[in-house]
A and B are shown apart, each in its own frame.
Chain A
Amino acid sequence: MTRRLEVADLVVRHKTRKGTVHAVAGVSFEIGAGQTLGLVGESGCGKSSLARAIVGLNKPTSGNLAINGTAVDPRRPSSRARDMQMIFQDPYGSLNPRLTVRELVEEPLKVHRLRSRAERREWVKALLDRVGIPETMHDRLPHQLSGGQRQRVGIARALALEPKIIICDEPVSALDVSVQAQVLNLLVDLQREQDLSYLFISHDLEVIRYVSHWIAVMYLGVIVEIGPVDRIWKSPLHPYTRALMQTTDNREMQAGPEVKLNSELPNPLSPPSGCRFRTRCPLAIERCAQEEPQLREEAAGHKVACHRAQEWASRVSAAA
């Protein structure tokens, strides 16, 4: 598996009036060619900050990025625009309301001074064809399209520069169920055709499970569990992942500690000492308050940051 995108120790701090928020507090992962890493977590856990920092919309405080094995400067977004593009949750807010569909998709090509005018026209038509926007709509404005069509235009625009990495930030969350399926199928098909790599962010676990090869669970700026989709779905080890799974219709989860959350995300301005999840964790012990658990590998590729994971890891894996 070739490593398409490597992220190492990425830190994003936002300064606010009340102090500094560590939105992303040291995150590392890699995504292979043609693979999807699904990223889940509650709002405020830093998933969007992470996405924006990777794509270059926010400047990360520190950390390293490598694309196809070559290090890129994470603070210079222009260096990676042709390798990496983003699809947003709200295509209405991310499309210029005064440009037609055709102009919207052509814009990135103009900015990067690629292709002749005739070639651009051909290419834009081919892209819009591929995402399923009929030619009669190419001269419409974003407000004349339905939500699903706008998201298709957003996808065509992201593909205009033929990047190999697409960061999808909640691309289907604002869409109705029947339209969601259309957009998810399109994204999956495009991945197969063009060998794309996705970082796919969503709070919807079932959507994440459907599109992902790997799943990472984020909590207050750190990844608490990461692993192949089947492992995370069937034998999650982190109590937070288990709590998330209990909000779905997941009936395949192996027996293990029952985790029900009764409280809310703590203030990100002052995250708890030690394990960040301990204030909501029914399994927390003294050690959790003193020592921050590090991600450690419990099975092939399956990493968990929990002091108590090992206690039931053998039990959960044996059942799996």
Chain B
Amino acid sequence: MAGIKNAQAPRPLLDVHNLSVAVKLASKARAYAVDKVSFSVGVGETLALVGESGAGKSLTAMALMRLHKAQTMDVEADRIDLLGRDIARMNDREIRSIRGSTVAMIFQDPLSALNPVLTVERQLVESIVLHNDMSRSQARKRALELLDMVRIPAAGSRLSEYSHRLSGGMRQRVMIAMALAGNPKLILADEPTTALDVTISAQILDLLKELQRDLGVGMLFITHDLHAVRTVAHRVAVMYSGRIVETGDVSKVFNDPSHPYTEGLLAARPHGSFVGAAHRLREIPGTVPAPADRPAGCAFAPRCNRRTAECEVRPPPLEYVGPAGFACYHPLQEVPA
């Protein structure tokens, strides 16, 4: 298959080339928890990074913002272009000026991400003043606007609340309001709905989708929830054991996957009822290998029913056909020999 890397017409907002995160192990050895991932996020576009736990999704986002644990991890990258500037070469001070302003983050657990001893108002005003040229009274007004924007009912009365007094959904909304305080161009959302109930999670997904569309920001949406991907994302990158194994438009990847892992992941989700059809769910045997135990070839090979000797030698490269790419020697579309 011809490995033509598709250059997207408009310059992407974020363009990541070969980002790796090496974890230092006790024995002075290093294991790549994220192994040369490349992806891009366009203006006004949502890219979902999806995968199971240990796939390296969150680490990827943390490494982008240099929020990884520096004592135990090293980040390497050929290039990380954000609005045309290579943030991989920036020093810590420059990175700090980007965090919260150009790039904002939303975390899975807003209770630990919000300051428990400051009121919602203090925290919001603080980040507004930090990122905008505003007086405190202007900032207070802006804080109210932001709370309205994330649809917190009776926003005025919520300003004096502490985060632990809010419900999970409200906290996540405050978190989103804070992320918007710096007028970001890119939002990194790390499992923002995982800790929430289905009905609340649906509301937050709707909100994120609307904000993303109205404000035209790019979003890197990290999740393990395939339904959430379908709801919010334009494109998706499937990660397995620190590598991207398949990427493309959500409809293409979900309806016509190329990589056996993507297909297995989709088929493993319950769909239907065993009572009526008496069908079994498709299992993916085994578990995800730890970065240190990753096999030499394709990381998925030991669990894959399509593997051949070829798969165990070298990891397959991520090859593109148009905007869609996959890293597999024996994709599902291949005619069996």
Over the window 180-221 of chain A, the binary record of Cβ atoms lying under 8 Å from chain B Cβ atoms (1 yes, 0 no) is: 111011001000000000000001111101111100000000
CA A233 to CA B277, docked complex, whole Å = 15
CA A178 to CA B224, docked complex, whole Å = 11
CB-contact partner of A181 in B169, B200, B227, B283, under 8 A: B283
CB-contact partner of A210 in B151, B170, B230, B273, under 8 A: B273
CA A179 to CA B52, docked complex, whole Å = 10
Task: Given A209-B270, A211-B274, decide whether A184 and B281 contact each other with a Cβ distance below 8 A.
Answer: yes
Asked if A206 and B287 sit within 8 Å, CB to CB, the answer is no
**A203 cross-chain contacts in B, Cβ below 8 A:** 197-198
Asked if B197 and A42 sit within 8 Å, CB to CB, the answer is yes
CA A102 to CA B163, docked complex, whole Å = 44
CB closest residue in chain A, given B198: A247
CB-contact partner of A243 in B199, B230, B270, B288, under 8 A: B199
CA A43 to CA B287, docked complex, whole Å = 29
Asked if A210 and B53 sit within 8 Å, CB to CB, the answer is no
Judge whether B215 is part of the interface by a CB distance below 8 angstroms.
no
Give the contacts of B252-292 with A (CB-CB under 8 A): 264-265, 268-276, 280-285, 287-288
Give the contacts of A147-202 with B (CB-CB under 8 A): 148, 176-182, 184-185, 188
Q: Taking the nearest CB of chain A, how far is it from the CB of B271, in angstroms?
A: 7
Judge whether B38 is part of the interface by a CB distance below 8 angstroms.
no
CA A271 to CA B55, docked complex, whole Å = 42
Judge whether B313 is part of the interface by a CB distance below 8 angstroms.
no
**A179 cross-chain contacts in B, Cβ below 8 A:** 287
Asked if B273 and A185 sit within 8 Å, CB to CB, the answer is no
**B272 cross-chain contacts in A, Cβ below 8 A:** 209-210
- Give the total of B residues in contact with A, Cβ under 8 Å: 37
CB-contact partner of A177 in B197, B199, B226, B275, under 8 A: B226
Asked if A185 and B281 sit within 8 Å, CB to CB, the answer is yes
CB-contact partner of A247 in B151, B167, B169, B199, under 8 A: B199
Q: Taking the nearest CB of chain A, how far is it from the CB of B287, in angstroms?
A: 5
Asked if A248 and B276 sit within 8 Å, CB to CB, the answer is no
Judge whether B201 is part of the interface by a CB distance below 8 angstroms.
yes
Asked if B275 and A229 sit within 8 Å, CB to CB, the answer is yes
Asked if B203 and A261 sit within 8 Å, CB to CB, the answer is yes
Judge whether B25 is part of the interface by a CB distance below 8 angstroms.
no
Judge whether B332 is part of the interface by a CB distance below 8 angstroms.
no
CA A212 to CA B274, docked complex, whole Å = 8
Q: Taking the nearest CB of chain A, how far is it from the CB of B153, in angstroms?
A: 8
Q: Taking the nearest CB of chain B, how far is it from the CB of A256, in angstroms?
A: 18
Judge whether B113 is part of the interface by a CB distance below 8 angstroms.
no
CB closest residue in chain B, given A207: B270
Most buried by B among A184, A211, A261, A264: A264
Judge whether B202 is part of the interface by a CB distance below 8 angstroms.
yes
CA A207 to CA B274, docked complex, whole Å = 10
CB closest residue in chain A, given B303: A178
Asked if A264 and B169 sit within 8 Å, CB to CB, the answer is yes
**A246 cross-chain contacts in B, Cβ below 8 A:** 202
Asked if B282 and A181 sit within 8 Å, CB to CB, the answer is yes
CB closest residue in chain A, given B205: A247
Most buried by A among B167, B226, B269, B281: B281
Task: Given A176-B224, A203-B198, A244-B198, decide whether A181 and B284 contact each other with a Cβ distance below 8 A.
Answer: yes
Judge whether A146 is part of the interface by a CB distance below 8 angstroms.
yes
Over the window 255-297 of chain A, the binary record of Cβ atoms lying under 8 Å from chain B Cβ atoms (1 yes, 0 no) is: 0000001111100000000000000000000000000000000
Q: Taking the nearest CB of chain A, how far is it from the CB of B158, in angstroms?
A: 13
Asked if B269 and A177 sit within 8 Å, CB to CB, the answer is yes
Over the window 214-233 of chain B, the binary record of Cβ atoms lying under 8 Å from chain A Cβ atoms (1 yes, 0 no) is: 00000000001011001000
CA A146 to CA B54, docked complex, whole Å = 12
Asked if A210 and B281 sit within 8 Å, CB to CB, the answer is yes
**A210 cross-chain contacts in B, Cβ below 8 A:** 270-274, 281
Judge whether A230 is part of the interface by a CB distance below 8 angstroms.
yes
CB-contact partner of A249 in B224, B230, B268, B275, under 8 A: B230
Can you sample 14 A-B contacts with CB below 8 Å?
A: A176-B52, A177-B224, A178-B268, A180-B268, A181-B268, A181-B270, A207-B270, A210-B271, A211-B274, A212-B273, A229-B275, A243-B199, A247-B202, A265-B167
Further contacts, 18 of them, CB under 8 A, given A211-B274, A247-B199: A42-B198, A42-B199, A42-B200, A148-B287, A177-B269, A181-B282, A185-B281, A209-B272, A210-B281, A213-B275, A229-B275, A230-B276, A244-B198, A246-B202, A247-B198, A247-B227, A249-B230, A264-B200
- Rank and list the top 6 A-B pairs by shortest CB-CB distance, nearest first: A210-B270, A178-B284, A176-B52, A181-B268, A181-B281, A42-B197
